[in-house]
Amino acid sequence: MNKVLMTIGMALFLGTIAFGLRQMGFIGGEGYYTEPKTANPDWNAHDTPNVVFDRYQGGKIALADFKGKVVLVNFWASWCGPCSEEFPAMLRLLDHFEGQLQMVAVSNDSEEDQVEKFLKTFRKDYKEQMELPSLHIGWDPTLKITQEQFNVLRLPETFILNKEMKMVRKVIGVTEWDGEEMKKYIDSLLSQAS
């Protein structure tokens, strides 16, 4: 009887661990799109939260300052494997649009040295892209904005904002950021009048 209970307990424990890892993006990391009109008719009707992020290494980033631009707001952390996997493709996408597309990459790490370690891993192979003026590194160590304003529950999570500062797409997990489908989608947003 004790062996049966221990086996059931262990199975529940491992299942809970696996569920948690999947929710955090460590396993089953393929991305999927949630399009507001399909997933939730009211989602697209809301403006982007008017928030100000702390800029990594000092200063502030106000999302309102990006009105009239297409913006990716990406939430990530150094410990998130899928975040590391998708970041180079996001840098290539930024480079492709030569300043027309902006990205606010918001770290959810609690310590500044963790943010630096993550960024340092990309400075060698993506030096030019890491210095693009269209890349803005934010930091939300308390998760107050990440969780309370954007309701981010899993990393990576990215919101695509149109020129009117409306959230027009939410991407959870890894996707092919520099693929033709995404480039066409960003082009369509850039061609819309603001």
Q: What pLDDT, on the 0 to 100 scale, is given for residue 24?
A: 47
pLDDT more than 90, % of the chain: 64
Residues 16 and 110 in one domain: no
Residues 90 and 134 in one domain: yes
Query: How many domains in the chain?
Result: 2
Query: Is 16's pLDDT higher than 90?
Result: no
| pLDDT range class, residue 37, cuts 50, 70, 90 | very low
Residues 184 and 103 in one domain: yes
Give residue-wise pLDDT tens across range 72-116.
999 999 999 999 999 999 999 999 999 999 999 999 999 999 999
Residues 22 and 77 in one domain: no
Residues 25 and 35 in one domain: no
Q: What pLDDT, on the 0 to 100 scale, is given for residue 3?
A: 76
Pinpoint the alpha helices (H) of the chain.
2-24, 36-39, 81-96, 112-123, 127-130, 180-190
**Going edge to edge, which strands form the sheet with 135-139?**
32-34, 167-172, 157-161, 70-76, 101-107, 135-139, 52-55, 60-62
CATH of the domain at 63: 3.40.30.10
Residues 9 and 89 in one domain: no
134: nearest Cα among 187, 79, 65: 65
Residues 59 and 137 in one domain: yes
Residues 37 and 2 in one domain: no
Residues 46 and 130 in one domain: yes
Residues 68 and 146 in one domain: yes
Comparing 55 with 23, the larger pLDDT belongs to 55
Region 6-34 average pLDDT: 52
Residues 68 and 159 in one domain: yes
Residues 15 and 41 in one domain: no
Domain hosting residue 159, numbered range: 31-190
Query: Is 127's pLDDT higher than 70?
Result: yes
Residue for token pair 């492709």: 96
User: pTM (2 decimals)?
Assistant: 0.78
